[in-house]
Each structure stands twice: as structure tokens, then as C-alpha cells.
């Protein structure tokens, strides 16, 4: 074993030196700078610039559609629909986004131009509808569709136009292989609505009243913030926020802890760790390495966390994550990181290469992935029995508490937070202590990697 000067005692200056070395060698690398700093900046720049790069103009839809129906009623309705999509007197120009938005408001009147799929883009439509009888030979027509001379052929079964239409019978839409997806969707939407119009007209029912009766009104949900401001609610985003916070903490903790595992193995294999132990004690070396990677993890957490909070502020949803939850998030992160880092450091000191480490780390990784599997049930019921029990189970407790605190509509009971902090805090201290006992023996051990039971015996050794 390498002799160490025990008379110098436990000195925080040496721990700080080791921590700074660990931090500097990790942060000042191209991979970290690209992944932790440049990548999120580029990502948010792209998100901001993307609307400017996407053109509002769509490929013009010009050509002829063949409609095959029994009496020509669907063909007439489709022709009217395409005429409504063109500006009067200017067949070459399509509707603007504002024009289509106005058309959408006419849904109650049965206006076929009210196409929800096109409320946010400008469309250019110049389509001629050619009607054919069901008895006509369509072989030549289909060949023209295949060659691209025709935009589409639409076949309307006669049973769909009766007063008692058959169930399970569909409209046939045939388009060329190079037909754009939005164009095909436009034809399908107009064909469906034109069929409904023709069917209703045959019954003598007032189309506007019928459509107004079956139209489902939209629900606009809003939240009243603590300041009394009414803000638009986004239920999908609100459901994803707890998972986003947990994933942020999970990635930040495991990225640095995995780096701690890798550097420990590399230094042990290259005998560098023996040189370090000649100037410091194993406990000081372990503390410095964990703290150094902890600052790296905090840097990643701050970078991505600030970006996420800025996004919530932009969406006026910052109030759903109160300041108290952010403070607790920081505490949960510290507990989670030290737990994971202690496990990784202990394993890294006990093996000589990454392949040996996998067999020891894998059980811990499986346990740590439990919060990922429980994300949905816990987010749906943050105060339920599953969420409550798992909050007190280390080492997954901090991850579960983040899900609960950021997803709960009502505040988490204070005694839940207190017990969770006490249990997980005590577990963190215990894991760090066990890691220090294993580390002091493992860093100088060579040969066959230990089993989990041997690691426990190292922890109990005096």
C-alpha cells in the first residue's frame, strides 16, 4: 500500500483542490461544453428561429378531380367547396390565413370551406371537379391519376347517399404516389363533408341548423393565478411538467455520477490514484471527487433548469411551480446526487474496467429507474398511497418527491416532506459512509472484482 501522511489530518484545502481538479477536467472539455452549454443554446435559438424558416406558402393545388357518384350531388357540393376556397375573381391566389380563419367561423352555417386543418397556413386552390357516373369505365381515368394528369379520383358509393346510409361503407380516394399529405387530407375532408351535405339536402333538412345542432362547442380552460390574473391552461404541458423536472434531475445526477465512476476506474487502472493517495487520504480523495462532480451536475442543472423556467414564464405557467417547490427541488437533487455518486464511487474504486463495473452497477440502475416507470401514476395522483409510500423509500424517494411537488394541485402535507427529508437524508449519509469504507479498500485492490457481498464486508471492516 502507498504510505500516507496521517499526521496532516483531515484538511478541507486538499478536498477543495481535488474538487477543483475534478470539476476542471470535466467541464473544460469539448464534449461537456457542447452537450451542457452550446447544445441547449442552439436548441432554443432553433426553436425561436423555426417559425421564421417555415414558409406560410403551400404548394399550389391545381388540377382536376374526378368524382364518381350516382346523381352528381356530391360532385356539385365539392365544386362549391373548392370555389369557396378561391378568392373571387382571382383563381390563381388562395386564401390567406386570416381568410381561412374567417371561414372556420362559418362552420355553423354548413360552409364547407371551414377546414380546421388549414387555419394556420395560406392555401392556393384551383381545382376543377369532373363528375362521372358509377356505370362509366374508370380504367383510363385511373391511368391518368397514376401518371399525375389528374389530382385524384373519388368514388362515392350510392348507399352513402340514401336517407338510411349503410354503416361500414367508406369513400374511395385514389391519388398519385407523389401527392402531398396535406393535399390528400384536403381532398378527403372535402369529400366527406360534401357527402354529408348531399345526404342532408336529399332529406330536405336545413343544413345550417343540422350542423349547428351537432357541432361540439370548444372548451377554453383558464387558470386564476395567485395574483388574480387569468392565464390560459395547457393541460398537456401541465401533465408533462412533473416528468420534465424529474428527468432533469435524473439526467444531471447520473451524468456526473457516471463520470465519477469512469474517472475513478481510469485513475485506478493507470496507477494515478496511487500518486494521489501519497498526498491525501482516501476519504479526502473521495470527498473531493464527489464534490467536484457535484458542481458539474449543478452547472448542468442550472443551464437546463433556467431554460425550462424561462419556457414556463413565456407560456405564463410559471405560477404552477411555486418558489417553495423550486427550493425543495434543489434539496431533492442534492440528496439524489449524493446517493447516486456514493454508489458510483464505491463501484468505481472496486473494479479495474467498465465491463466489471456493469455487473455491480446494473442492480442499482434498475432500482433508480423505478421513478421513470411510476411517472404517470404518481403524476395523476400525487397524494395517493403509491406516491406517499415511495416517497419514503431510498434511493428513489427524492425523484418521487419531485414528481409530487411539481404535479400536485394541492400542497403536499408538511409531514410528508419532513419525513421524506429525514429518511432520505439519513440514507444519503449512510450511503456516503458505506462508500467511504469501500473506497478506502477498493482503490488499492487489484485482481478479481468483488461481489456485492464482499463490498458489504469491506464496509464493515475496521
pLDDT of 454 over the 60 cut: yes
Residues of the chain with pLDDT > 70, as a percent, come to 73
The whole-angstrom separation of Cα 87 and Cα 190 is 18
Is the Cβ–Cβ distance between 265 and 353 less than 8 Å? yes
Pairing of strands 86-87, 90-94: antiparallel
- Say what the pLDDT of residue 424 is: 92
- Say what the pLDDT of residue 334 is: 92
Angle, alpha carbons 320-322-327 (nearest 5°): 140
The whole-angstrom separation of Cα 196 and Cα 198 is 5
pTM of this structure = 0.60
Strand partners, 57: 122
pLDDT in tens, 151-162: 888 888 888 887
Q: So where are the chain's domains? A: 6-44+234-460, 61-214
Strand partners, 126: 62
- Mean pLDDT over all residues of the chain? 75
Which set of grid coordinates corresponds to residue 298? 449543478
The whole-angstrom separation of Cα 352 and Cα 71 is 82
- Say what the pLDDT of residue 89 is: 43
Residue 216 DSSP code: P
Scan for cell 388549414, then name that residue.
Answer: 118
Contacts of 206 (CB under 8 A, 6+ apart): none
* Sheet containing 125-132, strands listed edge to edge, beginning at the edge strand earlier in sequence: 125-132, 61-68, 152-155, 172-174
Give the residue among 132, 137, 100, 127 at the shortest CA–CA distance from 115.
100
- CATH level 3 topology of 61-214: D-Maltodextrin-Binding Protein; domain 2 (3.40.190)
Helical (H) or strand (E) element with 31: helix 30-32
| Residue 327: Cβ within 10 Å count | 11
Whether the bond into 395 is cis, omega within 30 of 0 = yes
The whole-angstrom separation of Cα 348 and Cα 353 is 8
pLDDT in tens, 233-288: 556 666 777 888 888 888 888 888 888 888 888 888 888 877 887 778 888 888 88
Residue 123's pLDDT band (cuts 50, 70, 90) = very low
Give the residue among 346, 336, 337 at the shortest CA–CA distance from 264.
346
Which set of grid coordinates corresponds to residue 139? 380504367
What 3-state class would DSSP assign to 66?
A: strand
The whole-angstrom separation of Cα 292 and Cα 278 is 20
Largest CA distance in the chain: 104
Helical (H) or strand (E) element with 86: strand 86-87
pLDDT in tens, 339-378: 999 988 888 888 887 777 877 888 888 888 888 888 888 8
| Residue 81: Cβ within 10 Å count | 24
Give the residue among 182, 198, 188 at the shortest CA–CA distance from 110.
198
Strand partners, 64: 128
Residue 94's pLDDT band (cuts 50, 70, 90) = very low
The whole-angstrom separation of Cα 139 and Cα 324 is 71
The whole-angstrom separation of Cα 166 and Cα 412 is 55
Q: How far apart are the first and last CA of the chain?
A: 16
Pairing of strands 125-132, 61-68: parallel
Is the Cβ–Cβ distance between 140 and 171 less than 8 Å? no
Torsion sign over Cα 251, 252, 255, 257: negative
Amino acid at each position: 500500500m502507498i504510505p500516507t501522511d496521517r499526521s496532516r489530518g483531515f484538511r478541507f484545502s486538499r478536498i477543495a483542490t481535488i474538487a477543483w481538479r475534478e470539476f476542471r477536467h470535466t467541464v473544460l472539455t469539448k464534449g461537456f461544453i457542447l452537450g451542457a452549454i452550446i447544445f441547449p443554446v442552439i436548441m432554443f435559438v432553433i426553436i425561436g428561429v423555426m417559425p421564421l424558416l417555415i414558409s406560410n406558402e403551400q404548394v399550389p393545388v391545381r388540377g382536376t378531380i374526378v368524382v364518381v357518384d350516382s346523381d352528381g350531388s356530391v360532385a356539385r357540393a365539392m365544386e362549391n367547396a373548392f370555389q369557396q376556397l378561391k378568392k373571387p375573381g382571382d383563381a390563381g391566389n388562395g386564401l390567406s390565413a386570416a381568410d381561412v380563419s374567417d371561414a372556420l367561423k362559418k362552420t355553423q352555417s354548413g360552409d364547407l370551406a371551414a377546414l380546421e386543418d388549414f387555419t394556420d397556413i395560406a392555401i392556393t386552390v384551383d381545382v376543377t371537379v369532373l363528375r362521372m357516373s358509377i356505370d362509366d369505365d374508370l380504367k383510363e381515368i385511373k391511368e391518368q391519376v397514376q401518371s399525375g394528369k389528374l389530382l385524384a379520383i373519388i368514388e362515392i358509393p350510392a348507399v352513402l347517399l340514401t336517407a338510411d346510409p349503410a354503416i361500414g361503407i367508406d369513400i374511395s380516394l385514389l391519388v398519385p404516389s407523389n401527392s402531398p399529405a396535406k393535399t390528400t387530407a384536403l381532398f378527403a375532408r372535402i369529400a366527406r363533408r360534401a357527402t354529408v351535405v348531399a345526404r342532408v339536402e336529399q332529406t330536405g333538412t336545413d343544413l345550417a341548423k343540422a350542423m349547428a345542432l351537432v357541432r361540439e362547442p370548444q372548451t377554453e380552460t383558464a387558470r386564476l393565478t395567485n395574483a388574480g390574473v387569468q392565464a390560459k391552461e395547457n393541460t398537456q404541458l401541465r401533465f408533462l411538467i412533473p416528468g420534465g423536472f424529474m428527468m432533469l434531475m435524473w439526467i444531471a445526477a447520473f451524468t456526473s455520477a457516471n463520470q465519477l465512476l469512469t474517472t475513478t476506474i481510469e485513475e485506478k487502472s493507470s496507477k494515478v490514484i496511487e500518486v494521489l493517495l501519497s498526498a491525501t487520504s482516501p476519504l479526502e480523495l473521495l470527498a473531493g471527487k464527489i464534490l467536484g462532480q457535484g458542481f458539474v451536475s449543478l452547472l448542468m442543472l442550472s443551464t437546463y433548469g433556467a431554460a425550462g423556467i424561462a419556457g414556463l414564464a413565456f407560456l405564463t405557467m410559471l405560477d404552477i411551480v411555486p418558489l417553495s417547490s423550486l427550493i425543495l427541488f434543489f434539496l431533492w437533487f442534492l440528496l439524489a446526487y449524493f446517493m447516486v455518486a456514493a454508489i458510483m464511487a464505491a463501484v468505481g474504486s472496486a473494479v479495474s474496467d467498465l465491463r466489471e463495473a456493469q455487473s455491480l452497477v446494473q442492480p442499482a440502475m434498475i432500482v433508480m429507474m423505478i421513478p421513470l416507470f411510476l411517472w404517470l401514476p404518481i403524476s395523476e395522483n400525487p397524494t395517493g398511497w403509491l406516491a406517499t409510500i415511495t416517497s419514503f423509500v431510498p434511493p428513489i424517494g427524492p425523484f418521487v418527491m419531485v414528481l409530487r411537488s411539481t404535479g400536485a394541485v394541492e400542497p403536499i402535507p408538511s409531514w410528508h416532506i419532513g419525513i421524506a427529508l429525514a429518511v432520505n437524508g439519513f440514507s444519503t449519509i449512510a450511503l456516503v459512509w458505506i462508500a467511504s469504507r469501500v473506497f478506502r479498500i477498493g482503490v488499492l485492490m487489484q485482481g478479481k472484482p468483488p461481489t456485492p457481498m464482499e463490498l458489504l464486508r469491506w464496509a464493515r471492516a475496521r
